[in-house]
Every structure is written in structure tokens, then in C-alpha cells.
């Protein structure tokens, strides 16, 4: 396993549409393993393959149980509720903004072996699933930001939240 370079805003790969995964082999498994290492090292809630320069429909995002979920060829099938909160991105370091997202989503995907499954996400997981799948279509969260937050506003937002 290895750390991969996280591409940053302005890199053309981040604005391209990713291709569907059709081969479930060692190369895919290596990509997923490297993405796990990379997102953990960066202390992120998720990572999409384009963020490490690979134009494939592959995502790792935090699940409701706090563990990372591998989503290959993900499709969001259901969106319910609404949350408005701060969001950041490993590809846009140091920038945080308010983004409206659904509070609950249902995602259909396949695992690293090509087996279909469905997963639900609530709160942070729903936000991460939506954020990461948008990367697969060449979009960054900054396109959805309603307000860029200062460091003070971000600290005040998190200082006023109940901790779990």
C-alpha cells in the first residue's frame, strides 16, 4: 500500500467525468488500498479516484458506523431531508464553506469484487457520499458553496455543536 498525491483545484483531472469500472482485479484493489491509506493520512471523510489522478468511478467515504465504505460505480438512488453545514475538500485545502446536502441518502454500488450492494448514509455520511460521487462527474464542492467560512466562523460553528 502507498500514499498517492492528492490533486488540487486547478488540476484538469478534477473537472473530467470518470469512467465506469468494468474490471475487478488487482489494479482496482491496489487503488482502493492506496486510497484508504491516503484518506487516513490526510484525515479526510472521503476520497474519490479523480482526486488521486485516476478517472474511474471509485469512492471511499465514511459510513454511518465511522468506517470507510468502498463504493464502485456508485449511484445515489434516494435523497431525503436537508442539512446545511460546513464542508471542505482535500483537493481544495484550507477552504471551507456552507453547503446544503440531503440528510439521508441511499446509494447503490458494487464492491471491489463486483458484487452489488446498497448502503444508506445519514448526516456526515450522506454529505460524504454526495460530495465524493460529485467528484466522479468533475464537480467540486465549491460549486455548491453558499458562503465561504472564515477560520473564526468555522471554529464558532464547531464550538457550538454538541459532540458525540
Q: Where in the sequence numbering do the catalytic residues fall?
A: 132
CA distance 36 to 33: 5
CA atoms within 13 A on the CB side of 131: 32
Reading the block at residue 104, the C-alpha cell is 439521508
DSSP three-state, residue 107:
strand
In the 8-state DSSP scheme, what is residue 162?
P
CA distance 133 to 73: 9
Amino acid at each position: 500500500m502507498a500514499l498517492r498525491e492528492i490533486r488540487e483545484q486547478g488540476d484538469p483531472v478534477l473537472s473530467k467525468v470518470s469512467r465506469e469500472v468494468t474490471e475487478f482485479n488487482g489494479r482496482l484493489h491496489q487503488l482502493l488500498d492506496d486510497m484508504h491509506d491516503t484518506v487516513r493520512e490526510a484525515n479526510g471523510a472521503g476520497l474519490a479516484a479523480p482526486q488521486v489522478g485516476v478517472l474511474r468511478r471509485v469512492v471511499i467515504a465514511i459510513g454511518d458506523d465511522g468506517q470507510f465504505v468502498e463504493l464502485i460505480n456508485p449511484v445515489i438512488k434516494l435523497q431525503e431531508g436537508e442539512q446545511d453545514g460546513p464542508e471542505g475538500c482535500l483537493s481544495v485545502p484550507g477552504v471551507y464553506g456552507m453547503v446544503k446536502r440531503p440528510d439521508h441518502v441511499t446509494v447503490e454500488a458494487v464492491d471491489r469484487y463486483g458484487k452489488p450492494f446498497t448502503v444508506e448514509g445519514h448526516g456526515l455520511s450522506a454529505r460524504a457520499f454526495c460530495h465524493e460521487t460529485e467528484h466522479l462527474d468533475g464537480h467540486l464542492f465549491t460549486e455548491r458553496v453558499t458562503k465561504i467560512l472564515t477560520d473564526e466562523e468555522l471554529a464558532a460553528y464547531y464550538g457550538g455543536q454538541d459532540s458525540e
